[in-house]
Amino acid sequence: MTTEQTVIAASVLACDFGRLFDEVQAVTDAGADWIHVDVMDGHYVPNLTFGPMIVEAVRRTTTLPLDVHLMIEHAERWVDSYVDAGADMVAIHPETLYHPHLTLTSIRKRGKQAGIALNPGTSLSAIEELLPIVDYAIVMSVNPGWGGQKFIEGSFERARRLRQLALDAKTSLTIEIDGGMNTERVPQAAEAGIDVVIAGSAIFKADDPAAAVSDMLQAASV
Ligand code: DX5
Ligand code: ZN
């Protein structure tokens, strides 16, 4: 897929969790396209966030598409819970489970979009055999686990190579980039053929998150 305008997905990892639902509401009102939700289990990544109950509460707060990014071991055991909680999209890291093909297929069988997240150190070939059954890929431009990290240079180039793989396979693929993104990098992402920019700190750590969303949407529209 290539959307006309880069989608801006607000990643709640960087928000004030004491005001989680107000913050989701604020970025929804500001026009963010999607809400990106980072689920971390303290095992696959050292950090720990939340589970399906919080995702379900976020679901009740916004009508925007919910992009659930699972950074957990044995993701296959949890996929159904996140779909039940209201996820529209569920992404797994292929190294967290033995049978990614099976789990991605099960996400699709539930009528949701299936995604695969690729760490900076993961070869793009990890997705090659899965392309026919994957709706989207998250190119990680930081190592997963925390918000506020520095963008890893070369990530746009990886996205370009991934686009070529999808073109060669004659399959449509939505490409997202996750980590260290800010308004300045939005046009570069668009130029690299990236469909979705995920941003946490650049939105929620800004003095005015709603204004930050507007700036990003503006950058995405030129
Ligand atoms: C990192 C998460 C990201 C994170 C990005 O593991 O997958 O979604 O929220 O945060 P920023 O935009 O602050 O780099
Ligand atoms: Zn994420």
Summarize pLDDT for 22-42 with one digit per residue, the tens: 999 999 999 999 999 999 999
Helix (H, G, I), strand (E, B) or coil at 168: helix
Count of positions (residues) in the chain: 222
CB-CB contact of 141 with 155 (8 Å):
yes
CB 209 within 8 A of CB 23: yes
CA 195 vs. chain centroid, Å, equals 11
Give the position, in ligand 1's atom list, of the atom nearest the Cα of 205: 13
Q: Whole-angstrom Cα distance, residue 114 to residue 167?
A: 18
Band of residue 12 on the pLDDT scale cut at 50, 70, 90:
very high
What is the distance in A from the centroid of ligand 1 to the CA of 179? 5
| Contact status, residue 36 vs residue 11, Cβ threshold 8 Å | yes
The rounded distance, in Å, linking the Cα atoms of 43 and 88 is 25
Rounded to whole angstroms, the Cα distance separating 84 from 173 reads 24
Percent of the chain surpassing pLDDT 90: 98
SS (H, E, C) 100-159: HHHHHHHHHHCCCEEEEEECCCCCCHHHHCCHHHCCEEEEECCCCCCCCCCCCCCHHHHH
Ligand 1 site, residue 199, Cβ cutoff 6 A:
yes
Measure the CA–CA gap between 110 and 68, rounded to whole angstroms: 14
Alpha-carbon distance of 152 to 113, in angstroms, equals 27
Q: Which of 36, 119, 178, 181 to mutate to test the pocket of ligand 1 (most atoms within 8 A of CB)?
A: 178
CA distance 136 to 37: 15
Q: Which residue among 92, 142, 181 is best mutated to probe the pocket of ligand 1, counting the most ligand atoms within 8 A of its Cβ?
A: 142
- The pTM (predicted TM-score) of the whole model is 0.97
Ligand 2 ion: Cβ-proximal residues, 5 Å cutoff: 38, 69, 178
Q: What's the pLDDT tens digit per position in 126-171?
A: 999 999 999 999 999 999 999 999 999 999 999 999 999 999 999 9
pLDDT band at 1; cut points 50, 70, 90: very low
Q: Collapsing DSSP states into helix, strand and coil, what is residue 31?
A: coil
What is the chain's mean pLDDT, rounded? 97
Which amino acid is it at 138?
I
* Residue 200 beta carbon below 6 angstroms from any ligand 1 atom: yes
**Tokens representing 121?**
């150190």
